Chains A and B, each alone.
Chain A
Amino acid sequence: AQSVAQPEDQVNVAEGNPLTVKCTYSVSGNPYLFWYVQYPNRGLQFLLKYITGDNLVKGSYGFEAEFNKSQTSFHLKKPSALVSDSALYFCAVRDIAAGNKLTFGGGTRVLVKP
């Protein structure tokens, strides 16, 4: 069975500083990895995905993520965080063999302080 781990429940960062949200995964085949962001009482917004190709994936709102196969990680990064980036972030992996189900990590709350 596949799994996703987000080791940090919360990440605090000052506005303008780099932001990193960690994610590690476990899959039996090729990983299809996703990052989503959720604002209060809202659904999930897609940020970026890794299917194949370049290990550095660029997504929405200035976010990017680096796929590292040897470390089974897919950390989300942003060079300069904004207060408006404060939200709940989810890493997910798609299980192709199980009807494209998504398995989500526990989520990481990001708080960007002015």
Chain B
Amino acid sequence: GAVVSQHPSWVICKSGTSVKIECRSLDFQATTMFWYRQFPKQSLMLMATSNEGSKATYEQGVEKDKFLINHASLTLSTLTVTSAHPEDSSFYICSAQSVSSYNEQFFGPGTRLTVL
């Protein structure tokens, strides 16, 4: 149980285009999901907290208009990187918080974004 999927697993796009990454909790409902960014050989950096039916809460230094988050249902949150640039290339990981598992976070497999 407690499986989280991400789609796509990897994506290559041209500079200036937008990319959408989906995060799904497959067998549980998640009112809260988290989006992280990880640069090579570095730790995870929390970008934003996504709450179902409300606006996301962004961490300091993360551009809201650049990284659009939509948490439209209890099993799906999306992260859209708008007008992507090479410096946005990174590994993006989501996690979903399970109320039934004492608010433990379950992580997706990650999405590798490469912007050319």
Residues of A that sit less than 8 Å from B by CB: 36, 41-46, 49, 51, 90, 99-107, 109
The 8 closest A-B pairs by CB, nearest first: A44-B107, A43-B109, A43-B107, A43-B110, A104-B43, A106-B43, A100-B103, A104-B44
Q: How far is the CA of A5 from the CA of B114 in the complex (A)?
A: 30
A102 touches B43 (CB 8 A): no
Q: How far is the CA of A36 from the CA of B104 in the complex (A)?
A: 13
Q: Is the interface of B mostly helix, strand, loop or mixed?
A: strand
Number of A-B residue pairs, CB cutoff 8 Å, is 49
Q: How far is the CA of A81 from the CA of B15 in the complex (A)?
A: 44
Q: How far is the CA of A107 from the CA of B107 in the complex (A)?
A: 16
B44 touches A90 (CB 8 A): yes
Shortest C-beta distance, B90 to chain A (Å), equals 12
Whether A102 touches B46, Cβ cut-off 8 Å, given contacts A42-B110, A43-B110, A44-B93, is: yes
Residues of B within 8 A of A99 (CB): 32, 49, 57
Residues of B within 8 A of A102 (CB): 34, 46, 95, 105
Whether A41 touches B34, Cβ cut-off 8 Å, given contacts A101-B49, A105-B43, is: no
Residues of B within 8 A of A43 (CB): 4, 6, 93, 107-110
Given contacts A43-B108, A43-B110, 12 further A-B contacts (CB under 8 A): A41-B112, A43-B6, A44-B44, A44-B107, A45-B107, A46-B107, A49-B104, A101-B46, A102-B34, A102-B105, A107-B41, A109-B41
Q: How far is the CA of A99 from the CA of B105 in the complex (A)?
A: 12
The verdict on B106 contacting chain A, using a C-beta distance below 8 Å, is yes
Residue in B57, B93, B107 with the greatest tally of chain A CB atoms within 10 Å: B107
Closest to B110 in A: A43
Closest to B94 in A: A43
Residues of B within 8 A of A36 (CB): 107
Residues of A within 8 A of B102 (CB): 51
Shortest C-beta distance, A39 to chain B (Å), equals 10
B97 touches A46 (CB 8 A): no
Residues of A within 8 A of B93 (CB): 43-44
Shortest C-beta distance, A48 to chain B (Å), equals 12
Closest to A109 in B: B41
